[in-house]
Structure 1
Amino acid sequence: MMRLRVGAWWLLALLLLPVLVPQALRTRRRALRLAPAAGPQQGVAGAEFAGPALRVVLLGESTVAGVGVACQTQGLAARLAQALAEQQRRPVAWQACGENGITASQACTRLLPQALAAPADLLLLVFGVNDSTQLSSLRSWRQALTCMTQALQVQGAQVAFTAVPPLQHFSALPWLLRRVLGLRGTLLDRQLRAVARQLGASYCPVELEFAADYLAEDGYHPSRLGYQVWASGLAAQLLSQQLLSQQQSAASAD
């Protein structure tokens, strides 16, 4: 079934190539390019709470680098740490290992060593947009996700994936281009979910309304409000899955 879907996507892309290529080139020329967020790439949220800190590391593309906001304290990593600290009433030490424009395969050599050097209880992988736009093969996508997950699990970290963002809602892209890339992202997301199931990692859908207020001025990355809403949803999902995992472990022990 997956081969049929992939074949259908390539057939569609080839048929629309005379339209998609000019759109892609024009979009690249006109795109507003925002810099990564300024400030330290790590910090502590909920320092007012007692107890040992939960260590959270985010590994990923431009959203982990904080593109779309002015400073990292407004970005996904810091916002997620704050939401987790408030929900669990404990300190959360966070670190962002992100690079603008990076694919999952590139991250295996350029970012994974940083993540492995930072002891973590929870490690969140945030990829998919660049692999969609750069047409990464499904095989290389699976291999990269598997490589990173297994390396991180060996160190005892709980690994979670965010879903591939829905490119069909990125207002910076022309309608036809974003629909075709959105379909490509859906194919990658199916593979991501399969890898998560196989390796025992968590999978978190992107629960974010892609309205103007939630997008930065480039129409491509989240705004300050967008990161805050995305992080709150992620924290709730991670907490729910953590409790579910604990309940399953308790039931197995009984």
Structure 2
Amino acid sequence: MATSSKSMRSLSCWKQILRQTRAVRQQQFRTLNTTPISISRFPGPPPPGLSRPRASQQDVSNRQPKKMKVYPPPPSARAVCKDPIAAVTESQLGKLDPTRARTRLFTRSNLDAAKVGDILLVRTKNGDDFAGVCLNIRRSGIDTAILLRNNLTRVGVEMWYKIYSPNVEGIEVVQRREKRARRARLYYMRKPKHDVGSVENIVRQYQRQRAMLRSADVKSRDANSTKKKNNKRGSNK
């Protein structure tokens, strides 16, 4: 028990000594801070235990603010391109339809444009041509498409074709409707009462007439070329 009492006394003594040293250090630190020291003597950071005195209002007013580099804002997309969808549509139409023949064929302002109820013939690069009555024309820019209906082996068949598709080689108007349709979509023609049926005979007749016109044009061209040759020969003689 004697040893424990001695150790307790020694700890209490050390606590008292530490408290006294802390008080002395705080007093010294306060006295050092109160003494005025010029900053010119310390060009670098102040020594430990010392703090720089606060600058007066006159010194603060004499200081010039540091100029910051200001970058201009980036150009807005609206200023560069006001209507990006229209610009993309025009660029795509220039690639897919450079002559704008298909665009004129389905524009509403064109009097000779294809309309619902007309019989259209779509020629594809694969060779699978399809003809039928136009039931609907969906005008939506590059995605403009037409719906054709025909009867194959007494079964009604409908096909959607995008007019600007690279697979579509050409679109021809085989026969126009006699009267203007009063509806934008002729879905009532799916019923047996209003179904036109197969249009193969009309398409064949159209192709024959076209072949005859082509042959007549070829004959007239040949006749004109022979006349020109004979005239040249006569002039040379």
Q: Do the structures match in fold with TM over 0.5?
A: no
User: For the superposition of Structure 1 and Structure 2, which TM-score range results when normalised by the shorter chain?
Assistant: under 0.3
In proportion to residue count, which structure has more helix? Answer: 1
TM-score, length basis structure 2: 0.18
Which has the higher relative contact order, 1 or 2, with Cα contacts under 8 A spaced 6 or more apart?
1
Larger strand fraction of residues: 2
What's the TM-score once normalised by structure 1's chain length?
Answer: 0.18
